[in-house]
């Protein structure tokens, strides 16, 4: 009964403008209004020979040419074998980024297919959003 009375009182106060209620919805994703979306780009070869080491370049920019600021955070490079002798193999590396590009070099590769993923993870309380880019590497 108390909840019903409190609920009716709260509804009355809100409709008359005497009280305002707010909720803490999804502010963990972006602590600011109008966060800038980012775009992560990975460039490098999509095929290689067995025993090769492959270098990839990652870059994070503001998507759609938004703000003039540079996103700050961390790149997480992941190489995961998905087919052939590569299946089940896994390599991951992280590097902080405060602008510009970062390079990642794989270990020596065996035959098979690999999923290459670069994630941009924004700094805590940043006005930017996270982003990801993927490609497939085939070692013949």
Provide the residue range defining the domain that includes 80: 34-139
What is the tally of structural domains in the chain?
1
Specify if 10 maps to a domain: no
Specify if 121 maps to a domain: yes
Specify if 107 maps to a domain: yes
3-state secondary structure of 81: strand
Answer positive or negative: Cα dihedral of 79, 83, 86, 89.
positive
pTM, two decimals, is 0.71
Specify if 94 maps to a domain: yes
Q: Residue 72, Cβ neighbours under 10 Å: how many? A: 16
Specify if 89 maps to a domain: yes
Q: How far is it, in rounded angstroms, from Cα 103 to Cα 37?
A: 22
Encode pLDDT of 74-121 as tens digits.
999 999 999 888 888 999 999 998 777 899 999 999 999 999 999 999
Encode pLDDT of 2-33 as tens digits.
666 766 666 666 666 654 444 333 445 566 66
Specify if 27 maps to a domain: no
Encode pLDDT of 46-66 as tens digits.
999 999 999 999 998 887 665
Specify if 87 maps to a domain: yes
Specify if 97 maps to a domain: yes
Is the model's pLDDT at 131 over the cut of 50?
yes
Q: Find the Cα–Cα–Cα–Cα dihedral 72, 73, 74, 75, rounded to 10°.
A: -50
State the CATH number of the domain containing residue 94.
2.60.40.10
Token representation of residue 45: 């070869």
């Amino acid at each position: 009964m108390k909840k019903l009375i409190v609920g009716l009182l709260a509804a009355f106060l809100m409709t008359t403008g005497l009280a305002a209620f707010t909720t803490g919805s999804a502010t963990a994703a972006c602590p600011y209004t109008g966060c800038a979306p980012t775009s992560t780009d990975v460039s490098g070869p999509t095929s290689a020979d067995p025993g090769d080491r492959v270098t990839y370049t990652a870059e994070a920019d503001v998507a759609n040419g938004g703000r003039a600021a540079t996103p700050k955070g961390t790149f997480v490079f992941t190489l995961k074998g998905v087919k052939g002798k590569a299946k089940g193999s896994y390599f991951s590396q992280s590097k902080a980024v405060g602008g510009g590009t970062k390079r990642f070099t794989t270990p020596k590769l065996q035959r098979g297919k690999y999923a290459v993923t670069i994630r941009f993870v924004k700094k805590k309380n940043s006005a930017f959003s996270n982003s990801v880019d993927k490609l497939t590497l085939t070692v013949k």
